[in-house]
Amino acid sequence: MEETYDYTVKLLLLGSTAVGKSSLLIRFTEDVFKISQHPTIGANYHNRMIEIDGKKIKLQIWDTASAELFRRVIHMYLRSVNGIVLVYDVTNRSSFNNTSKWICDIEEPLPNVEKIILGNKCDMNDRREVSREEVEKIAMDYGIKFLETSAKSGINVEEAFFTLIRDIMSRMDRKMNDCNPSDEGPVNISESPSNKSLCCCCCCPLH
C-alpha cells in the first residue's frame, strides 16, 4: 500500500565545489558521514519521509553539481522547487562570496521561495575564514535564515532542514487558508508564490 502524506516538498541544494552539499544531504537522509565523496555530476536527488508537528512530509532533495558549472541549467530545477539550501564553507571565503550571486539568480525566477543559508564545516573553527557575525548581518539584510552546520559531526543539520521545511509549510498553509478557508485535506506543495522580489543583482552587498 502506498504511504500517505500531508505535504510533498522539493528542496534544492546550491553552493560552490567542495562546500559539503552531498555530505550534508547524506547526513540528513542517512545520518552518516562519508569522508570521501566524488564530485556530483549534474544533479541527483534523495527521497525521505519525515514527520513534523504531526504532519507527514514527503521530501525530494536535489543535490547539484558545482554552482559554477550548474548555473546554465539551474532554471530547469527551479520550476517546482519549494525551498533552497544555500551552502558555503566557513573555511573558504570565495565560496561565501558566491552566495550573493546565487541569491540574485534565485530571486528573479522565484522571488519568495523559502531559503536558508548554511555555513558548513563549522567544526573546523581553527581554519575559519568567514565569521558568523558577518553572515548573520547579511542574512538579516536579505531576510533569510542562517545556521552554521557540520556534516561531519551532525551539528545543526537536521535543525537546518526542519527549519526550512516548517517555513515552507507555514507559507503554503497561509496561501491555502487565504484561497480556500473551508477546504480540508492534504496539501501538495508544488508551486511557490510570486510576490515582490527581495533582491536585485545590482544591490547585492557582497558584490
User: 90 in helix, strand or coil?
Assistant: coil
pLDDT over 50 at 141, yes or no = yes
List the beta strands (DSSP E) in the chain: 7-15, 43-52, 55-64, 83-89, 114-120, 145-148
Model confidence, pTM: 0.80
Tell me how far apart the alpha carbons of residues 118 and 12 are, in angstroms, rounded to a whole number: 13
The 10 Å Cβ neighbour count of residue 170 is: 11
pLDDT on residue 146: 97
For residues 99 and 115, which has the higher predicted lDDT (pLDDT)?
115
Residue from 141, 139, 143, 103 nearest 119 by CA: 139
CATH class of 7-179: alpha beta
pLDDT over 90 at 51, yes or no = yes
Domain boundaries, the chain: 7-179
Distance spanning both ends of the chain, measured CA to CA? 52
**pLDDT tens digits for range 73-102:** 566 666 778 999 999 999 999 999 988 777
